[in-house]
C-alpha cells in the first residue's frame, strides 16, 4: 500500500452525485493521505465529447491510483481514463454499463433489491455522504430538512407547516430546503413561523449541511428526502420524519424507510406525537467510512 493516494474525481455537476463521491473520498482521506484532482463534465454533451473533455482536463494531472465517479454520464469517461492510466475505477450508484467492467461498484441496497454475489459490489444502506462523525462534545443543534415532490411522494405545504409549528415550540430551529422544494414555501414559513431560522440551499456552501448535522441533536427530514435522511442518520443525532403525501406506497424508497422505522433508526411524526420524543438510533450509519476501508483494502491486495 502506498503512503499516499492520488485520486481523480469525475463529476457531472449534480450536487447529489458529487456529494456521494466526496463522501467516499473524504473517508478515504481519514485513513490515508490523499491528493484529489477534480474533472467536471458538466455541460459536455455526448459520450465521446465527455470522454474528450475528461482527457483534456486531466492532461496535466499526476497519475491516479483510483478514479471515482457518480452519475450515468460519467461512466464511459471513468472507464476510459482508468484503462488509459491503469488506475482502479470506482463507480457510485448502480451503473448503466455492466458492473463487471468496473473495479468496484458501491450501490445503495434499495437500488439493487436482489442483492449481488459479485465480489466487486459493495452494498450500502443509502447513498454515501460527507457527514463526518462528530467529536464527543455537547450537541444541541435542531435541524429541519425540507425536500419536495418526488416519484414516491407528493406535496402538502399546509400539512407540513402545521407539523413544523408543532415541532418547533422548544429551542432554536434551523431550516434548509432543496432543489425540489416548491417555490414560495420558505416565504410561507417565514411569515407563519418567524422563530425558525431559514437557510436556503442556494445560499449555503456544500460544507454547511454536513457541519450543521455533525452538531445536531435533533433532526427532522421530510420523508421523500432519502439522501438527507441518510445524511442525518450518519450524524448520530435523533431523526424524525416529517409527513408527506405518499403517491407510490409500493416503492423501494418507502420500503427502505419502513425498515429504518422498524429498526428504531427513525421516528415517524405520528409516533413522536404520542411520546413527544425521538428514538435514539441503535447505531450510527457510517457507510462512507466502511466503504473507504473496503477500498483501501482492495488497493492493498
Residue range 196-208, pLDDT digits in tens? 999 999 999 988 9
Angle, CA 127 vertex, CA 20 and CA 41 arms, to 5°:
35
164 and 115 share one domain: no
125 and 13 share one domain: yes
How many structural domains is the chain composed of?
2
217 and 195 share one domain: yes
- The pTM is what? 0.87
170 and 197 share one domain: yes
48 and 169 share one domain: no
pLDDT tens sequence across 30-81: 999 999 999 999 888 888 899 999 999 999 999 999 999 999 999 999 999 9
151 and 93 share one domain: no
Domain limits for position 120: 5-129+287-300
Residue 138: predicted pLDDT: 61
Cβ atoms of 224 and 153 closer than 8 Å? yes
Q: Tell whether 47 is covered by a domain.
A: yes
| CATH number, domain with residue 113 | 3.40.50.2000
222 and 172 share one domain: yes
Cβ atoms of 296 and 25 closer than 8 Å? no
* Cell numbers 414560495: residue: 184
Q: Tell whether 253 is covered by a domain.
A: yes
Q: Tell whether 136 is covered by a domain.
A: no
Residue 289 has pLDDT above 90, yes or no: yes
148 and 262 share one domain: yes
Q: Tell whether 183 is covered by a domain.
A: yes
Q: Tell whether 280 is covered by a domain.
A: no
Amino acid at each position: 500500500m502506498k503512503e499516499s493516494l492520488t485520486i481523480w474525481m469525475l463529476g457531472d455537476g449534480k450536487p447529489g452525485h458529487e456529494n456521494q463521491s466526496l463522501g467516499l473520498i473524504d473517508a478515504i482521506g481519514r485513513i490515508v493521505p490523499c491528493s484529489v484532482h477534480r474533472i467536471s463534465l458538466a455541460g459536455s454533451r455526448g459520450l465521446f465529447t465527455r470522454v474528450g473533455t475528461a482527457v483534456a482536463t486531466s492532461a496535466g494531472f499526476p497519475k491516479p491510483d483510483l478514479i471515482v465517479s457518480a452519475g450515468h454520464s460519467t461512466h464511459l469517461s471513468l472507464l476510459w481514463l482508468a484503462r488509459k492510466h491503469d488506475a482502479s475505477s470506482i463507480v457510485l450508484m448502480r451503473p448503466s454499463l455492466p458492473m463487471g467492467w468496473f473495479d468496484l461498484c458501491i450501490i445503495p441496497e434499495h437500488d439493487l433489491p436482489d442483492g449481488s454475489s459479485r465480489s466487486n459490489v459493495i452494498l450500502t444502506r443509502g447513498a454515501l455522504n460527507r457527514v463526518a462523525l462528530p467529536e464527543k462534545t455537547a450537541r444541541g443543534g435542531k435541524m429541519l430538512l425540507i425536500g419536495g415532490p418526488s416519484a414516491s411522494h407528493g406535496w402538502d405545504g399546509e400539512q407540513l407547516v402545521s407539523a413544523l409549528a408543532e415541532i418547533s415550540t422548544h429551542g432554536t430551529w434551523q431550516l434548509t430546503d432543496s432543489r425540489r422544494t416548491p417555490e414560495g414555501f420558505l416565504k410561507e414559513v417565514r411569515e407563519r413561523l418567524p422563530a425558525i431560522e431559514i437557510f436556503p440551499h442556494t445560499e449555503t456552501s456544500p460544507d454547511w449541511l454536513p457541519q450543521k448535522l455533525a452538531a445536531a441533536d435533533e433532526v427532522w427530514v421530510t420523508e421523500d428526502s432519502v439522501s438527507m435522511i441518510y445524511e442525518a442518520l450518519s450524524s448520530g443525532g435523533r431523526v424524525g420524519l416529517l409527513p408527506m403525501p405518499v403517491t407510490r406506497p409500493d416503492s423501494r424508497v418507502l420500503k427502505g424507510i419502513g425498515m429504518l422505522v422498524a429498526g428504531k433508526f427513525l421516528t415517524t411524526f405520528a409516533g413522536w406525537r404520542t411520546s413527544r420524543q425521538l428514538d435514539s438510533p441503535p447505531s450510527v450509519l457510517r457507510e462512507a467510512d466502511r466503504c473507504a476501508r473496503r477500498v483501501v483494502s482492495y488497493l492493498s491486495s
